[in-house]
Amino acid sequence: MLRETFGLSHLRDGQESVIRQVMSGNPTIAVMPTGAGKSLCYQLPALLLPGLTVVVSPLIALMKDQCDKLREHGVDAVQWNSAISADEACAAQADISSGRARIVFTTPEQLAKPEVVAVLAAHPVSLLVVDEAHCVSQWGHDFRPAFLEIRAAAQRLGNPTLLALTATATTDVLEDLTQQLGMRGAAIVNTGVYRPNLVYRVEAVGNDEDKLARVVSLVGESAGAGIVYCATVAAVELVYQALLDAGQSVTRYHGRLGTSERQRNQDAFMKGQARVVVATNAFGLGIDKRDTRFVIHFQMPGGLDAYYQESGRAGRDGEQAFCTLLFQHSDQAVQRFFLAGKYPSVDDLDAIFRALLAALDGGSRPTLDSLAEALDRPRGKLQVALVLLRDQGVVTQDRQGRLRLRRADLDSRTIESLAQAYQAKREHDKTMLEQMAFYGQTGYCRWKVLLGHFDPTAEARDCSHCDNCVRLAEAARQEMLRAMQTATTEDPIVVSSAVQSFAIGERVRVARYGTGKVEKIEFDTVTVDFGRGRRRAFLASYVHAA
C-alpha cells in the first residue's frame, strides 16, 4: 500500500517507529523536524485501520492542500473548518455520514462543537491525530486554549488511539501535553530537531538606526525569498517602509491589516510576486514556502522554542538557508511588556466571577464569546481563565458552551490564590527570555545551544557551520599560523587581544547574569562560572571586569 498509494519504496526510521506504535493502538507522541514526513505517520495507518481518522490542526491554510494531495493519491479526505463555504461543509458532512471519508481535517474550535462531534461519532473513529501538538501545552510557545478541549472530545469519540505530532517540544511541553490529552504512558518517538542545512548566526547592533540599516543591507545581500520577523506592528511598518524605499520586492503581514489584505500579501509572498515578507509572528503556523532562503529576526522572540519554529521556516526544501538574529539588548523590554499582560490577572478572574454571578441571579447562561464582548477582554485570555476556574470546580460548561457557576462563595483571597496558579508559568517565560538573550550573546555553537534547550540530556557536537563555529575555527587557524611563524618551544601561548585582559579565576560581570569567575579563555570566548553549576560562554565583548 505504501508503494501503490503514495509511490514510496520504504519508510524512514522515525516514520516506521511511529506507525508501528499507532497500529498497535498505543498513544504516541512523535517529535520530528520539519521535512521528516510526519504526515505519512497518520496517512498510512488511516488506510489500514477500520474506522475514521480525525486530524485536528490549527493550520487551516494547509488543509485544502492536504486534502487535494490525498485525493490525488486516491484517498477520500475532507476538511471541516470555518474557512469553507456552507455548501462545502454540507458536502463534507455528507461524506462523513455516508462513511466515504477516510480522513477528516478539522480545527480544535470545530471539534469543541457538539454538533460536529455528533457527526464524527456516528461512525467508529480509530485514530485521533493532534498536529502541532505543542499548542496543547501551556508551556508551549504557540499555546492555544482551544486545544484544551480535545481531551473531552476524544472521550465523546469513544477514546480512539491518540497520535500527537510536533517539530518542537521541550521536556516540560511533552510532560504537559501528555497530561492535557490524557496520554500518560504514551510512546515517545523523538528523532531530534537538528537540520544541518540551516546556518545560524547573530549580529550584535548597538542602536535602532544601526539595526534598521543592517536589516536593509542584509536583505539586499541575501539571495532568494525570505522572511523578516518583528515583535511589534510598529517595527513591521518601519522595516517594510525601509525595504520599500531601498527598492526591494517586499510585502507585510500583521494582525492589524484586514483579512483580505493579509491574504493578498501572503499569497504574493507564497507565489513569488514579493521576494520578502516583513511580519509579526501572526505570519506563523501553516506557512510552508519550501524555497525560503533566509529568515531574519529584527527583534528577538520570547524564547528559543519560538525562535526555532520561526527560523525553521527557512530551507524546508533541504537546501542551505540562513537564519540571522539582529541582537539588541533593549529588545528584551518588548518581550517583558508582552509577558506582563499574557496571563489572567486577579482582576480578570474577579470580573468573570462577578459576571457569572450576575448571570446566575438573572437566570441566564452566558458563553465565552458573550463574556468576552461584555467584559471587553481578549477571548483567548478569558478562555485560559475559564479553564482554570473549571479545573478548580468553580465553573461548569455544557455541550452548547453555556457557562454556570458551581460556587457562589468565592472571596478575594480565594480568587487571588487562583491567579497564583500562573506564577510558575510567568517564571518559566522569564527563564525562556533569559535563554533567548543568552543565545544572542553566547560564544558556543548556536546549534548546540538550541539542541541543549530541547533535550538537555543529549550530547551534541559543534555544528561547524554556525557563525561561532566558523569564527572559532578561523581564530584557531590564525593562532596556529602565528605560532608557526614566531613560536619557539618555550614561547607562551598567546591569546587574542580581545580577551588577554582577563585571567583564569578573575571575577567578572555579564549584564543580566551577574558576577562570576573566569573558568576558561578560548580565543575571543570567555567561559564564566556563576556558581551552583551555572557555566556559560560569552563573546569577550559582553564580559566586563567586576
Return the closest-CA partner of residue 496 out of 516, 476, 481: 476
Share of the chain above pLDDT 90, in %: 42
In order, the DSSP letters of 39-100 are: THHHHHHHHHSSSEEEEE-S-HHHHHHHHHHHHHTT--EEEESTTS-HHHHHHHHHHHHHT-
pLDDT band, very low/low/confident/very high, at 145 (cuts 50, 70, 90): confident
Q: Is 184 left (phi over 0), alpha (psi -120 to 50) or beta?
A: beta
Instruction: Give the per-residue pLDDT at 42.
Output: 93
Share of the chain above pLDDT 70, in %: 93
Task: Flag whether pLDDT at 447 surpasses 70.
Answer: yes
pLDDT tens digits along 55-104 = 999 888 778 878 888 888 888 999 998 888 888 889 889 999 888 999 99
CA dist 486 → 225, 481, 492, 495 (Å): 47, 9, 11, 14
Instruction: Give the per-residue pLDDT at 125.
Output: 94
List of domains in the chain: 2-190 (3.40.50.300), 198-338+434-440 (3.40.50.300), 341-410 (1.10.10.10), 495-546 (2.30.30.30)
Q: What is the pTM of this model?
A: 0.76
User: What cell numbers appear for 501 in the block?
Assistant: 585582559
Are the C-beta atoms of 275 and 250 separated by less than 8 Å?
A: yes
Instruction: Give the per-residue pLDDT at 410.
Output: 76
Average model confidence (pLDDT) for the chain? 86
Describe the crossing of helices 446-454 and 423-441 by its angle, rounded to 10 degrees: 160
pLDDT tens digits along 170-182 = 888 899 999 999 9
Task: Flag whether pLDDT at 144 surpasses 70.
Answer: yes
Element (H, E) at 13: helix 13-23
One-letter amino acid of 249: S
pLDDT band, very low/low/confident/very high, at 208 (cuts 50, 70, 90): very high
Are the C-beta atoms of 122 and 95 separated by less than 8 Å?
A: no
User: What cell numbers appear for 184 in the block?
Assistant: 500518560
In order, the DSSP letters of 258-327 are: -HHHHHHHHHHHHTTSSSEEEE-TTS-TT---TTEEEEEESS--SSHHHHHHHHTTS-TTSS-EEEEEEE
Distance of CA 524 to the CA centre of its chain: 32
Task: Flag whether pLDDT at 479 surpasses 80.
Answer: no
Are the C-beta atoms of 23 and 50 separated by less than 8 Å?
A: no
Residue 284: how many other CB atoms lie within 10 Å: 19
Instruction: Give the per-residue pLDDT at 33.
Output: 83
Q: Range with the lowest mean pLDDT among 171-175, 384-388, 507-511? A: 384-388
pLDDT tens digits along 26-43 = 999 999 887 778 889 999
Q: What is the mean pLDDT of residues 269-277?
A: 96
Instruction: Say whether 475 sits in a helix, a strand or coil.
Output: helix
Are the C-beta atoms of 488 and 500 separated by less than 8 Å?
A: no
